[in-house]
Homo-oligomer: A and B are copies of this chain.
Amino acid sequence: MEELVGLREGSSGNPVTLRELWSPCPRIRRGIRDGLEWLKQKLFREGEDWHLLMTLGVLMALVSYAMNFVIGRVVRAHKWLYREIGDSHLLRYLSWTVYPVALVSFSSGFSQSITPFSGGSGIPELKTILSGVILEDYLDIKNFGAKVVGLTCTLASGSTVFLGKVGPFVHLSVMIAAYLSRVRTKAVRESENRSKQKEMLVAAAAVGVATVFAAPFSGVLFSIEVMSSHYTVWDYWWSFFAATCGAFMFRLLAVFNSEQETITSLFKTSFRVDVPFDLPEIFFFVVLGAICGILSCAYLFCQRTFLHFIRTNRFTSKLLATSKPVYSTLVTLVLASITYPPGVGRFMASRLSMKEHLDSLFDNNSWALISWNSTPPWPAEPDSQNLWFEWYHPQFTIFGTLAFFLVMKFWMLILATTIPIPAGYFMPIFIFGAAIGRLLGEALSVAFPKGILAGGVTYPIIPGGYALAGAAAFSGAVTHTISTAILAFELTGQIVHALPVLMAVLAANAIAQSCQPSFYDGTIIVKKLPYLPWIRGRSINSHCVTVEHFMSCAITTLAKDTLLEEVVKVVTSTEVAKYPLVESKESQILVGIVRRDQLVQALQAEPPSWAPERQQCLQDILAGACPVEPVTLQLSPETSLHQAHSLFQLMNLQSLFVTSQGRAVGFVSWVELKKAISNVTNPPAPK
C-alpha cells in the first residue's frame, strides 16, 4: 500500500492514498485511526506490561481450573470404585489404598524423572531466587509439565495423603512469568530486564496464591510476607492487578461451568451476623492463638528434625537418592492404611475430602450441643448436607474424634511432607488449625451452653468462628504470616470475626516467631539454600558493628600493570568469580571488576608472546576480549552492619567490594554478612 501511495504521489504531486479514494469520510477514519493509535500508545506504553500480567493471571486460572476439574473426576471415580466394590474388607481396603499409592508413586516417579526440581512446594527456593540468588534451571518452563502432572496426581489422591496446592502453584506461576518475561525482553537490555523480571516474579507469586484460593487480597499479601523482606508499593500495585485477573477468571470458569450461580467465595460460611461473638470470647480467641502458636512451634521443630533425620539417616537417604518412588509408595501405603474408613479412619473423618473437611469444620452449629440430644447416624457415604456426621462417634463423641484427628494428623502430616512429590503444605496446616479451633469452640459451647445474652436475646456460641480463627492462627504461625487472617475472610466470604481472628493470628505469630524459624525458612536451612537472616533482637551492640569488623580481607586484586604471567598464576591459584581491578600495585585504587571467565577466555585467546623486549601486562588485554565492569556500588569499612544488610536485601546483591579512600581493602558477600549477623544475635561465648 505504501508503494502505491508513493506511486500516486509521484505521478500527481497530490498525496491521496488509494484507500482514501475508495472509502467515504476519510477524515473521520483518520481521526479514528489516530485515536486508536493514541490508545495503543497509551495502553502498550513501553515498560508497562499489564497485558503480560493479565495473560499470566488468565493462564494460571485456566490451569488451576482444569486441574481442579480433572482431580474432581479422578476422585469421583475413586469414590465410585470404593462404593461399588462390594462388602469384602480386603477388596475395600485394596481399593482404598491402591489408588493413592499408584497416584503418588506415579507422581513421584514421573516428576522426578523429568526434573529433580519438581518436588516439594518450591516456595523456599523461590524465596532465595527473589532475594537475588540465581538457581539455574529452577524456573525453566520445561519443568512446567512435570510439575502440573505430578501435582494433579498428588491432589487426586485426596485426603489420604492430605497435601495441598498452593506452593507448587506459586512455583508454576513464577515459571510462566519467567518464561513470558524472557520472551518479551529478547531485545531489551539486561539491567532493565532484571528489575522488570523481579516485578513479574513478585506478581506471579501473588497470582499463584490468588488462583488457588480465588483470593486476590491475601494472594498478594501472603506472597509478600512469605517471599520478600522488602517490597515496593509499585510491585504491590501490579501484583494486585495480576492476582485480580487470575482470581476473577478462576471464579468465572466456575460460573460458566454452572457450578456456581455467581462469583462467590470458595468456602462460603453462614455465621450469624447480629452478634457473632461476645466480648469475653475475645479472651478465648487470644488463648486459641497462643495454643496454635505453641503447637506450631512443636510442629515446626518436629518437621525440621524429621526432615533432617530423613536426609541424614543412612537407610532413608539412600532410598531417597536411588528409588524415590519406592519411598513414596511405602509412606503412602502407611498413610492410606491408617485412613482406611472402616478401620482407624473412622475416628478421624477420613472419608471427607479436604474441601469437605474445611466446609464441615466451619459449620455454623455446635455439634456437641446437637449430638447431646440425638445420636447422628454414620451414613454409608458422607452426607453432603450434614458433613459433620463424619466427625461423630457414639463412644468417642466429637471431642474424641477431633483430638484423635489432631494427634494422628500431626505426625502423618510431617511424614507426608517428606514424600518427594510436587505438593503444597499450606492447606493441610490450615485444616489442622481449623480442627484445633473447632475443638476449643465445641468445648466452649458445652461449657457455656446458655451462650451469649445480648439485648434480651440469647445466642449460642459459634464453634465455627473458632475454627476460622484456629485455621488462620495455626497457618499464620507456621508460615510466620499475618495475612492468613485476610485469607480466612476471603475464603469464607464473611468478615464478622475480623478483630478476634486478627488477635489470634498475632498471638500465634508472637510465639512462633520468637521460638522457631518459619516452615519455609526451616526448609531453607535443612536444604542449605543460601539466604540472609534478619537482624533479630536489634540489641545495642548490633549498631556498633561495621563492615570493617566482618569483611573478608583476603582479596586478590589484579593491577593494571600486572604482567600476564602473574595474572595466569593468580587465575589458576584462585577460584573467585570476580577480581577487583586496581590502578596499580602500589596505589590499589579500585577501578573496576573483571570476571574470571572472561579473563580466562581473553588469556587463552592471547597469543603467547614472551618476547624479552617488552612483557605484556594485564592492561593490554583489557581493551579487547576482556571488558572491565564498572563498580556501581561499594562499601566503606565504616558502613554499619545494618546498612550493609539493608543494602544487600534491598538491592538483591550477591557481593560487594569494600574500599577505603578508593583502595580496595576487602570484600563482603552473603557468607560474611550471615556470620556477622549470627555473631550479633548469638554472641560467641567469651573464652
Contact = CB atoms under 8 A, between A and B. Distances in A.
Interface of A: 42, 45-48, 188-189, 191-192, 195-196, 216-217, 221, 224-225, 228-234, 236-237, 240-241, 244, 247-248, 251-252, 255, 261-265, 270, 273, 275-279, 282, 452, 454-455, 482, 485-486, 489-490, 493-496, 498-500, 502-503, 506, 509, 513-514, 534, 537-540, 543, 583, 589-591, 630-640, 642-643, 646-647, 650-651, 659, 661-663
B643 A639 contact: no
Nearest to A661: B589
Contacts of A261: 275, 454-455
A229 B232 CA distance: 6
Contact of A45 (B537, B639, B647): B537
A664 to B, nearest CB: 10
Contact of A640 (B231, B632, B643): B632
Contacts of A650: 230, 646, 650-651
A634 B634 contact: yes
Q: Which of A277, A540, A543 has the most CB of B within 10 A?
A: A543
Contact of A191 (B228, B273, B636, B642): B642
Given A540-B188, A633-B636, A498 B493 contact: yes
Given A263-B282, A630-B636, A633-B643, 16 more contacts: A46-B539, A217-B502, A221-B221, A225-B233, A230-B232, A234-B534, A248-B499, A262-B452, A263-B499, A490-B495, A493-B498, A591-B661, A631-B638, A632-B636, A633-B647, A661-B662
Contact of A502 (B232, B244, B637): B244
Contact of A47 (B192, B539, B633): B539
Contacts of A499: 216, 244, 247-248, 251, 263
Contacts of A498: 216-217, 265, 490, 493
Q: Which of A482, A589, A634 has the most CB of B within 10 A?
A: A482
A264 B500 CA distance: 11
B640 A191 contact: yes
Contacts of A252: 279
A289 to B, nearest CB: 11
Given A263-B499, A663-B662, A540 B46 contact: yes
A237 B482 contact: yes
Copies per complex? 2
23 contacts: A42-B514, A46-B537, A46-B538, A216-B502, A240-B502, A251-B499, A261-B455, A262-B275, A262-B278, A262-B279, A262-B452, A263-B279, A263-B500, A265-B495, A490-B495, A493-B495, A494-B494, A495-B495, A590-B662, A633-B639, A633-B647, A634-B634, A647-B647
A262 B452 CA distance: 10
Contacts of A282: 248, 263
B534 A240 contact: no
A91 to B, nearest CB: 40
A660 to B, nearest CB: 9
A542 to B, nearest CB: 8
A107 to B, nearest CB: 32
A196 B538 contact: yes
Contacts of A591: 661
Nearest to A650: B650
Contact of A538 (B192, B264, B273): B192
Contacts of A540: 46-47, 188-189, 192
B642 A632 contact: no
Contacts of A490: 495, 498
Given A47-B537, A237-B509, A643-B632, A262 B277 contact: yes
A639 B646 contact: no
A538 B198 CA distance: 14
A234 B224 CA distance: 12
Contacts of A248: 282, 499, 503
Contacts of A278: 262
A633 B638 CA distance: 9
